[in-house]
Amino acid sequence: MIERRKTRAVYVGNVKIGDDAPIVVQSMTDTKTHDIESTLNQINRLYEAGCEIIRVAVPREEDALALPEIVKNSPIPVIADIHFSPRIAFLSLESGIHGIRLNPGNINDEGKIREILQECKRKNIAVRIGVNSGSLEQRLLDKYGYPSAQALVESALNWSEFFEKVGFTNFKVSIKGSDVLENVEANRIFASKTDIPLHIGITEAGPSGKGTVKSAVGIGILLYMGIGDTVRVSLTAPPEEEIKVAYDILASLGLRRRGIEIISCPTCGRIEVDLPKVVKEVEEKLKDVKLPIKVAIMGCVVNAIGEAKEADIGLACGYKSAILFKEGNPIKRVSEEEMIDELLKEIKQMEGGVG
């Protein structure tokens, strides 16, 4: 059982982050924000996949001007991602958005940042201080020589103190480096010094395969240490994939579950069925099921039920047939042709039972 770090609560719209709230899963659209239709379509798809907060890039005025329509029609709170421009920040704050993400290091004008925070306070808009290895203040780069964990922490602590000194506390922090160890170290140090909620993730993790591994390792270590109140997995892939990976990471640590979790064996010489094909088909057919259950698809009858004892339901395949089992007990033998349909039928019944 993971004991989570005690943090104070921050609200992005109606979504609570920190304190006793479940770890919130968020993502970012990759559409042009001023293309309102595409952006809202993607937000809706992400919402369906389980995304709880969405961030949109606001690089230009036309993007800020699209925000009111996006916020009005989004099923989840919207965060505007602002870099460099206080003007775009002020414009975005007029749109009804629920949060902004600022990298104060690249605005670098304390007077303007103070004004932005005053406006956020007045409108109850949450802020994320986003410290990234790629955009650290020059002063810290000169001091540390490169964006080390200490340099990232110093930047995050300085800006947190600045926010608190001007009376603004509705904020969370993210400290992201693309190097997993640096990232873990920076978040660990920061977490030991404050109760400010942390948004965690490995930035620029890469394409699906490597990026998923890197994210799972980095985010997984932090979560295991109890660190992290909201998660964003960054992949060079459609953002829906980020949501799936985020839930898979959280589920594998027993922190949150959503939808089906498939457990399948690695196969061995006992196998008498095309297991990868069966798993792929089951995964595809169950992708819209929201019931958080574990489904085991095992390659043989000999060890399968024992190996998959923590599954809620499953198939132990054999020669031209399979045993369907539920909560560790065999319930019936089914033929190879009907085994997937029988499994789906049982799961639909379980879904119906839950309502």
Query: What six digits make up the tokens of 229?
Result: 């109140």
Using the minimum distance from each CB to ligand SF4, give the nearer residue, 6 or 270.
270
Applying CB under 6 A, does 262 fall inside the site for ligand SF4?
no
Find the binder of ligand SF4 among 184, 295, 300, 340 (CB under 6 A).
300
Shortest approach of ligand SF4 to residue 188 CB, angstroms? 37
- Answer yes or no whether residue 267 interacts with ligand SF4 by CB under 6 A: yes
Q: Can you tell me which of 35, 240, 248, 307 binds ligand SF4, judged by CB under 6 A?
A: 307
Compare residues 191 and 265 and give the one whose CB is closer to ligand SF4. Answer: 265
**Residue with Cβ nearer ligand SF4 (270 or 309):** 270
Q: Which stretch binds ligand SF4 (CB under 6 A): 49-57, 104-112, 253-261, 299-307?
A: 299-307
Contact residues for 28 (Cβ-Cβ < 8 A; gap 6+)? 54, 55, 56, 57, 81, 232, 234, 239
Q: What mask of x and - would describe binding to ligand SF4 in positions 218 to 257, judged by CB under 6 A?
A: ----------------------------------------
Q: Does 299 bind ligand SF4 (CB under 6 A)?
A: yes
Identify the residue among 73, 302, 306, 319 touching ligand SF4 (CB under 6 A). Answer: 302
- Cβ nearer to ligand SF4, comparing 30 with 307: 307
Query: According to the binding rule CB under 6 A, does residue 321 interact with ligand SF4?
Result: no
Could you tell me if 242 and 233 are in contact, meaning their C-beta atoms sit under 8 angstroms apart? yes
Binding of ligand SF4 by 295 (CB under 6 A): no
- To ligand SF4, the closest distance from the beta carbon of 304 in angstroms equals 4
Taking the complex as a whole, the smallest distance from the CB of residue 273 to ligand SF4 amounts, in Å, to 9
Which bin fits 23, alpha (ψ -120 to 50), beta or left (φ > 0)?
beta
Nearer to ligand SF4 among residue 77 and residue 318 (C-beta): 318
- Dist CA 215 CA 114 (whole Å): 34
Q: Which is nearer to ligand SF4, 106 or 321 (CB)?
A: 321
By CB under 6 A, residue 296 contacts ligand SF4? no
Minimum Å gap between C-beta 299 and ligand SF4 is 3
Q: Please report whether residue 93 would count as binding ligand SF4 according to CB under 6 A.
A: no
Residues in contact with ligand SF4 by the rule CB under 6 A: 265-268, 270-271, 298-300, 302-304, 307
